[in-house]
Chains A and B, each alone.
Chain A
């Protein structure tokens, strides 16, 4: 699995994330910044982030069983992964995504 993740021939747009935020709430803003940074670092060519503002689309959150904000769903590649929080714990995020963690200097 992890071999495949690091192969050179990754199809474009393979990493699709859905980020549920609550307007401009500080932790929502942080979550977006952190997710964007992780994507830029690890899959610069092949990611897509869909942002859903729960304050604007409240019923969608209920339908998609999103309880807390911010919530990130990794839609593809499968399996789906659910991460809650502002992603400030980067190590946890990288481990969940199966990415190499930063070396401790």
Chain B
């Protein structure tokens, strides 16, 4: 047999951040130099430190953190605040070098990094460090204040890293809004094998962070700008490279919690799919979400109910008036309810929060009421991407989701949602108002239900003390009868039957 040569893949160090490893197809290049650029407060230091923490605690790769700008003790304390056990790590696996020069230092002539590199070399050999972070390399360069010398020292650093087979992470400030290194450091992105740009932007008064891999020698990477947040556990990058395995579809159906609606949907919605409930304000979308969640709990499935701008307690109370009782499941822990404030965060942060809740609670059914709240913050484009990712996240985890969306606009026939999620929803239930004979009645119809038979009837949706149901369809003169007219017809039919017996 001929032995085919398999190309040597670039060895990588995982950053420990799922989304970041996704966009870099595995993390940072081992034995090479990575440059993290970004404006002040863009998260460079956190990303570098998090990678170091992850490498030393999970990948048996001890490392050194050289802090040129921030006090090393403070950097360590910040890590502690993210829940990383810095005290334990610093005993053996991470060494901090406080390289902030005193402000009263006198500069008198030429100098270079030989001393620091000799010292780091000895330290790295002693502790077996293989990863070195140089945080705020620009501060060191500004000390040199001489472009040829700065270039020379960076190359000295770069060659030193290569010579000792060390993985280097350099962080560097760039002015806000810039996408490239300052002209005088223009060679830096060329020198580095992997260059990552972190930005922070404000859209509609809501700040959002994005990350972009500008280059990655010898490795594929996601080219797009990808959103990220700095959450309570550090950096979370919200994207995937799209190479996740497709989940196996389920064959069983999940009840919507309304018997007659299940019948219209030929047994409910497929497990692991999503259902979109649209309607105008006061249409009863939240009640449908409540019914879906109660049904999940009745089947003893874990459930998560996420609402925006409404207190969970109020929702529980309101649903109880329709005999939908969520309180016992809340107490038992089967159900988790979270109320979020739309304006409190960008749509990206909302997504990360929801994702965290899903990971923590591992529910089988999730209701999000309303998903359209996301569209109100941080720009439509970002919100739409978030809505889609939320749907894909649930699909990948085999979670059945019911999400509601507000329909706005005066034309009730214009069946579009603010987030345009109707195209990727598997089932779409529409609640509308039927104005007939001086009454406003709720009407429910199923616009689509993928891969499943479904009724095409328009039915009256009835909320009562005993629960939610759909009325029997009665038509007269081509119209579906609702409200009083329907009741009259029902009575008439009942009387007819009674007379007949």
In the assembled complex, the CB of A36 is this many whole angstroms from the nearest CB of chain B, namely 14
Q: Is the Cβ of B111 less than 8 Å from the Cβ of A59?
A: no
In the assembled complex, the CB of A74 is this many whole angstroms from the nearest CB of chain B, namely 10
CA distance A22 to B156 in the complex (A): 14
Q: Is the Cβ of A71 less than 8 Å from the Cβ of B111?
A: yes
Q: Is the Cβ of A87 less than 8 Å from the Cβ of B109?
A: yes
Knowing A22-B115, A25-B114, say if A62 contacts B106 (CB, 8 Å).
Answer: no
Q: Is the Cβ of A84 less than 8 Å from the Cβ of B119?
A: no
In the assembled complex, the CB of B243 is this many whole angstroms from the nearest CB of chain A, namely 43
Which chain A residues (87-105) contact chain B, with CB distance < 8 Å?
A: 87-90, 92-93, 96
CA distance A20 to B108 in the complex (A): 14
Q: Is the Cβ of A25 less than 8 Å from the Cβ of B112?
A: yes
Q: A68 within 8 Å of B by Cβ?
A: yes
Residues of B within 8 A of A68 (CB): 111-113, 115-116, 143
Q: Which of A22, A62, A86 contacts B110 (CB 8 A)?
A: A86
Q: Is the Cβ of A85 less than 8 Å from the Cβ of B108?
A: yes
Residues of A within 8 A of B101 (CB): 67, 84
Q: Which of A22, A55, A58 contacts B123 (CB 8 A)?
A: A58
Q: Which of A31, A59, A82, A89 contacts B119 (CB 8 A)?
A: A59
Q: Is the Cβ of A69 less than 8 Å from the Cβ of B121?
A: no
Q: Is the Cβ of A67 less than 8 Å from the Cβ of B107?
A: no
Knowing A65-B98, A67-B99, A82-B104, say if A27 contacts B109 (CB, 8 Å).
Answer: yes
Q: Is the Cβ of B106 less than 8 Å from the Cβ of A54?
A: no
Q: B105 within 8 Å of A by Cβ?
A: yes
In the assembled complex, the CB of B62 is this many whole angstroms from the nearest CB of chain A, namely 16
Q: Which of B97, B106, B116, B140 has the most CB of A within 10 A?
A: B106
CA distance A67 to B117 in the complex (A): 9
Residues of B within 8 A of A67 (CB): 99, 101, 113, 115-116, 140
Q: Is the Cβ of A22 less than 8 Å from the Cβ of B118?
A: yes
Q: Which of A61, A65, A86 contacts B109 (CB 8 A)?
A: A86
Residues of B within 8 A of A54 (CB): 114-115, 118-119
Q: Is the Cβ of B109 less than 8 Å from the Cβ of A85?
A: yes
Q: Is the Cβ of B109 less than 8 Å from the Cβ of A58?
A: no
Which chain B residues (131-158) contact chain A, with CB distance < 8 Å?
A: 140, 143
Q: Which of B111, B122, B126 contacts A84 (CB 8 A)?
A: B111
Residue of chain B at shortest CB distance from A61: B119
In the assembled complex, the CB of B327 is this many whole angstroms from the nearest CB of chain A, namely 60
Q: B413 within 8 Å of A by Cβ?
A: no
CA distance A83 to B94 in the complex (A): 30
CA distance A71 to B108 in the complex (A): 10
Residue of chain A at shortest CB distance from B101: A67
Q: Which of B110, B115, B122 has the most CB of A within 10 A?
A: B115
A64-83 vs B: 1/0 string, CB under 8 Å? 01111111000000000111
In the assembled complex, the CB of B498 is this many whole angstroms from the nearest CB of chain A, namely 98
Q: Which of B97, B106, B110, B112 contacts A92 (CB 8 A)?
A: B106
Residues of A within 8 A of B97 (CB): 62
Residue of chain B at shortest CB distance from A31: B109
Residues of A within 8 A of B106 (CB): 81-84, 92-93, 96
Residues of A within 8 A of B102 (CB): 82
Q: Which of B109, B114, B143 contacts A22 (CB 8 A)?
A: B114
Knowing A65-B98, A67-B99, A93-B106, say if A85 contacts B111 (CB, 8 Å).
Answer: yes
Which chain B residues (237-287) contact chain A, with CB distance < 8 Å?
A: none
Q: Is the Cβ of B109 less than 8 Å from the Cβ of A59?
A: no
Q: Which of A25, A55, A69, A96 contacts B108 (CB 8 A)?
A: A96
Q: Which of B105, B111, B121, B123 has the most CB of A within 10 A?
A: B111
Which chain B residues (76-129) contact chain A, with CB distance < 8 Å?
A: 97-99, 101-102, 104-116, 118-123, 126
In the assembled complex, the CB of B455 is this many whole angstroms from the nearest CB of chain A, namely 75
CA distance A61 to B115 in the complex (A): 7
Residues of A within 8 A of B113 (CB): 67-69
In the assembled complex, the CB of B495 is this many whole angstroms from the nearest CB of chain A, namely 97
Q: Is the Cβ of A71 less than 8 Å from the Cβ of B115?
A: yes
Q: Is the Cβ of B123 less than 8 Å from the Cβ of A59?
A: yes
Residues of B within 8 A of A59 (CB): 119, 122-123, 126
Residue of chain B at shortest CB distance from A54: B115
CA distance A81 to B108 in the complex (A): 12
CA distance A92 to B105 in the complex (A): 11
Residues of A within 8 A of B120 (CB): 62
Knowing A55-B118, A83-B105, A84-B106, say if A70 contacts B111 (CB, 8 Å).
Answer: yes
Please report B residues at the A interface, Cβ cutoff 8 Å. Answer: 97-99, 101-102, 104-116, 118-123, 126, 140, 143
Please report A residues at the B interface, Cβ cutoff 8 Å. Answer: 20-22, 25, 27, 30-31, 34, 54-55, 58-59, 61-62, 65-71, 81-90, 92-93, 96
Question: Ordered nearest first, which 9 A-B pairs have the shortest CB separation?
Answer: A69-B115, A85-B109, A58-B122, A22-B114, A88-B109, A86-B109, A54-B115, A92-B108, A61-B119
25 contacts between A and B (CB under 8 A): A20-B115, A22-B112, A27-B109, A55-B114, A55-B118, A58-B121, A58-B122, A59-B119, A59-B122, A61-B119, A62-B119, A62-B122, A65-B99, A67-B99, A68-B115, A68-B116, A68-B143, A69-B113, A69-B115, A70-B111, A82-B105, A84-B143, A85-B107, A85-B111, A88-B108
